[in-house]
Amino acid sequence: MSLRDQLNLDRLWRRRPVVSVLRFEGVIMPRPRRGGLSLASHAAAIEKAFRAPGLVAVAIVVNSPGGSPVQSALLCRRIRQLAEEKRIPVIAFAEDVAASGGYWLALAGDEIFTEETSLIGSIGVISAGFGFYQLLGRLGVERRLHTAGERKSLLDPFMPEDPSDVARLETLQQDIHHAFKEHVRRRRAGKIDEADDSLFSGDVLTGRMAMDRGLVDGIGKLRSVMRARYGDKVRLRPIAADRRRLPFLSRLPFVSREPVSLISELADWLEGRLLWARFGL
């Protein structure tokens, strides 16, 4: 192929409308665990998605049972900032599940599409964990904790549960839940019944049920929706998150040789599995 033919082919390719596709699959978590989602794991991919030549839209594909509310908010905010700066529409697509923090993230879309049988919503706050203080004793490990400030520690998993800590946690959860509800009301304004408190009960809905109640805009697949909107020649450009930046060992499960760290890693893994298991996945 001559240089001129190559240049003509490049120009023709660039004229095709481009939709960047970002995938968010996994548990949303603050620490860089294997398969976890966070702003750190996806910031570069998000920036790259909005820089594509010929860009007409950014599609985000969400398959997440939730996790960290902070990371969910950070990811959503970064996407919205770039969408408004570049004046590019964002279309969200839910796969098996977009619940809790996963739904928070899907709200970065100007529109949300789902499958009929996807699981959507779970607009609430949950805190799960494990208590290992008896196990530490069996392992011959002594937990030592020293604080300056009587309320510095909160529900240490290696010490017996303290009722006052539970009360403090419930106060924090109520405030986070309020922020979640306000985020939903703001992003779905005019589409949901804002006075319907049952939307914020933490219940999960199928895609069809969620559409009927205004939590999503329609039933549809990424390819069919984008082709209907931008034509058959639309180019879907996947943008992969670069997880190679994480140290190799940190991408592997249960690599620590210290008993306490190993137990903590196991707890993280179990919490992730339990989040998926809540939705039968």
Pairing mode, if any, of strands 90-99 and 55-64?
A: parallel
For 44, other C-beta atoms within 10 Å of its C-beta total 13
Residue 278's H or E segment, with its range, is none
CA neighbor of 269 nearest in space, from 137, 155, 129: 129
100 is catalytic: yes
Selecting among 64, 68, 72, 100, the annotated active-site residue is 100
214, two tokens: 């205004």
- Say if residues 46 and 82 touch (Cβ distance below 8 Å): yes
Helix (H, G, I), strand (E, B) or coil at 91: strand
- Say if residues 49 and 239 touch (Cβ distance below 8 Å): yes
What is the rounded CA–CA span in Å between residue 192 and residue 78?
A: 24
Active-site residue list: 100
